[in-house]
Amino acid sequence: MTIYFYSTHEQYGCFSNFSYHGFELDNLYWHTSEHYFQAQKFIGTPHLEEIRLIKTPKDAARMGRDRKRPLRPDWEQVKDDIMRKGVLRKFEIHTDIQEILLSTGDKEIVENSPIDYYWGCGADGSGKNMLGIILMEVREILREVTC
């Protein structure tokens, strides 16, 4: 069985980067893993703090995708590791959602995004599902730590 997630209001909504499970990382507090991820595109600029402090993850995503802001030159090389770092921290801190992630056993986890073909599966299922893959990697890391 495959576990699909997308909206924070659905079962497994805590897997979404938009879920309000804040954490401290890099000596700063982040409201969501979406805030953390989007802000990292602009490390060393005032845009990072602007995104960190914005109210909603939807607004953080909008700001992070705005190409009027100068994207860091190594973004394509570091984005997967940054996502992994933020997602891992989120699940390390919040034991309630850690238990949910661990309860998925060895099932495949898929971000059922109809628009994102990199982080999700896309409308036709042909996407890379990198967020789902990272969640499964984090599940394995947490499994090793908790045993």
pLDDT digits 0-9 by tens, 67-97: 999 999 999 999 999 999 999 999 999 999 9
* Whole-prediction pTM: 0.96
Q: Which amino acid is at 116?
A: D
Torsion of CA 112, 114, 115, 117, to 10 degrees: 50
Note the helical H segments in 105-147: 130-146
**pLDDT given at position 147:** 66
Q: Whose structure tokens read 């890099």?
A: 26
Pairing label, strands 23-25, 28-30: antiparallel
**pLDDT given at position 145:** 87
